[in-house]
Amino acid sequence: MLSDVLPLMEKLVTVFQREVLNLAIIGPMVLSTKESLQYLIKEKGENEKFLEGNMKEGPSQFRGITITYADKRSMEAFNTMRTCFIEDLVDSLDRRFPEKSLDLLQALDNVLNHDKYPDRKEDLANYGGDSLTVLLDHFCPVIGQDNNDVTTPYIDRDRSLRDFQQFKRVNSGIGSGNFDMTCKVLITEYADIFPDFSTLAEIALTIPVSSVPAERGFSLQNRIHTASRNRLAQHRMNNLMILNMHANDRFDFTRASELFRKTKKRKV
């Protein structure tokens, strides 16, 4: 049974281990995994069928191995446990990936990803309106209320609706590049021209869909917090990790060292 279930989960996990993750594939992968698991509840997988088809009569044996607890009562208990196990997996996926969140990811991809735009300019005018509405309904309501005071929403609804037609034409001409690169261009080059869509690009880039940064962080922590340095304080550990992560960035370590030495009188 696990030989039928685990490959499905492995494919889903592999998708989220990519460093650059396309938002468009998240929804289909999650939905297809849930549907495949639900199918296994009703119909046994190929490995289970193979096991049953190759068990010998009499004392239950499979390839020379005696199968214990293969009586009718035990198999009924196993089938009940099997169903509960797969249903729990489906429920976990529903909690981790609510339908509304998947719709938002799809809408972000439709609005910002110029590769999704229609080839014909005549069709571009009517493209993406529904997806933009989904995003506006989610991000434009008031946020962070304090004593019933209204605060500014993330995005200006009216302005974004007015700008959308021109934005699509500008975005379609940005050129080739993956989704991440497109978002970065929108943030760095068009923030003052299309502020609402630049904000959407920032949101898209900060959604923690990939597990790569977390796994990389744990690996870095293990390289720094070794057995011989097991008394590092948390703030020191955080600072060392930040320095290590940005070691290749433009950072003047010499000047930082001089400033650090001047902050406190130290013994030579």
Q: Token match 């949101």: residue?
A: 203
CA distance 249 to 199: 25
Within-domain flag for 190: yes
User: Are 118 and 59 found together in one domain?
Assistant: no
User: Who has greater pLDDT, 102 or 71?
Assistant: 102
Pick the residue with more confidence: 196 or 60?
Answer: 196
Residues 49 and 105 in one domain: no
Residues 6+ apart with CB under 8 A from 114: 171, 172, 174, 182
DSSP for residue 101: H
Q: Which residue has better confidence, 56 or 224?
A: 224
Higher pLDDT residue, 192 or 179?
Answer: 192
pLDDT score for 75? 82
For residues 53 and 85, state if they share a domain. yes
Do 10 and 90 lie in a common domain? yes
Nearest 5 degrees, angle CA 143-CA 145-CA 150? 80
Domain with 123, as residue range(s), is 100-206
> Is residue 77 within 8 Å of residue 111, measured between CB atoms?
no
Contacts of 211 (CB under 8 A, 6+ apart): 16, 17
Q: Are residues 126 and 196 in the same domain?
A: yes
pTM over 0.75: no
How confident is the model at residue 119, as a pLDDT? 85
Is 268 inside any structural domain? no
**Residue finishing a domain among 76, 97, 118:** 97
